[in-house]
Amino acid sequence: MAQVSADPADRTRTAPGAEHTLDRDLVDGTGKDSGNGRGDGDAPDAPFDQGEVTEVVADDEGGSGAGAGLTATSERIAEVIRAEVPSASLSFLPVARADPGETGPPDPRRSDVDEWGRSEHMRSIVRRLYNPMYKYWFRVEWEGLEKIPHHGGALLIANHAGAIPSDAPAIMHGIEEELGRPVYGLADYFFRTLPVVGTMWSRTGGVPAHPDNAYRLLHDQQQLALVFPEGTKATSKTYTDRYRLRRFGRGGFVEIAMRAGVPVIPIAVVGAEESMPILFRIPSVAKMLKLPYFPVTANALMLGPIGYVTYFPAKFKLRVLDPVTFDVEPGQDRYSRSRVMDEAEAIRARMQDALHDMLRERRSVWFG
């Protein structure tokens, strides 16, 4: 809650790292203001109360025609207030609120869970917890992050690896931290069937991979969506097949991007393969547990059961490749199958080349 923007136009300026800006984006996306409801929450929501107060201050400044400087001043004032007044008493301070006639009836929402199940509040907690992992364990390094747009929809695709893939959280974390906009991760239905894990996955930006969902996110809501075209074929492959891209499904991701009229942005990930390599699989156990695959990982051999939740500290390098746009009319029901397959194959070849290039430069699995 470090930064507060006075009006939506400020969004771009304060975007990097501003969690509140993310809130706004989210609210815009869903078409309703869930911010109002937050003040009604219990103790864990206290930080949001502060955010609300500072927001009102900032709004007042903005309303009197003040520029960016005044907004900055108000932010400083808000920080002083935050530093000196304990959060509990802050919510009792009388605060000028907007005329209720303008804002309509109070929003009955009690949480900021959006219509996809993503909660920015939950996401910010997870980001805080995951940040040490991102910075000091995987030591993630990005290349070409500026190719991901600050506005508008884009379909991010990446290569997938690790028995329990470590690349998706790293990509989502990195983009949300650097660009200050949410990323929705499209993944297999399987996640939904797991208690607790499925709910957490949904709250932190996971969406079941369905063409309609992707279209709605990309076209109607102009969001960033992340997919792994290889699917579980990539995460279930053994270490001997590392950095060999699997088949890109049936090219469905290209068709969705064409229909939604958004670019495809490929991301090549190096490091995830070594973070939890699969030595071999036991299909009979997978069948018994109704899992897509049951891996025996190097981590598990070294650490026992803990190995299934512990990654090796491989150095992560991510390279964003040039966005691919398609010269076709968006919004059609069908696209030429050969065209779709050609485009998918071209993107796959480029990602494979990029991976080889990055691996050529890599001196050590652990230090990059």
Residues that bind other proteins (CB under 8 A): 30-32, 107-111, 113, 115-117, 189-190, 192-199, 207-208, 210, 212-213, 216
Q: Given the complex with other proteins, which of 7 and 115 has the nearer CB atom? A: 115
**What's the CA gap between 4 and 1, in Å, rounded?**
7
CB of 232 to other proteins, least distance (A): 15
58-65's contacts with Cβ under 8 Å and 24+ in sequence apart are 58/4, 58/5, 58/6, 59/6, 59/7, 59/98, 60/96, 61/6, 62/6, 62/7
Helix (H, G, I), strand (E, B) or coil at 331: coil
CB of 322 to other proteins, least distance (A): 31
CB 240 within 8 A of CB 339: no
Q: Given the complex with other proteins, which of 34 and 159 has the nearer CB atom? A: 34
CB of 214 to other proteins, least distance (A): 10
Q: Given the complex with other proteins, which of 32 and 139 has the nearer CB atom? A: 32
Residue 70 buriedness (CB in 10 A; 0-12 / 13-18 / 19+): middle
CB of 108 to other proteins, least distance (A): 4
CB of 109 to other proteins, least distance (A): 5
**What's the CA gap between 307 and 303, in Å, rounded?**
5
CB of 88 to other proteins, least distance (A): 21
CB of 99 to other proteins, least distance (A): 21
CB 223 within 8 A of CB 182: yes
CB 118 within 8 A of CB 182: yes
User: For residue 211, which of 263, 251, 268 has the smallest C-alpha distance?
Assistant: 251
Q: Given the complex with other proteins, which of 115 and 342 has the nearer CB atom? A: 115
Q: Given the complex with other proteins, which of 150 and 210 has the nearer CB atom? A: 210
Q: Given the complex with other proteins, which of 27 and 276 has the nearer CB atom? A: 27
* Side-by-side strand order, sheet with 224-227: 141-143, 317-320, 264-270, 154-158, 224-227, 183-187, 206-208
Q: Given the complex with other proteins, which of 198 and 252 has the nearer CB atom? A: 198
**What's the CA gap between 343 and 263, in Å, rounded?**
12
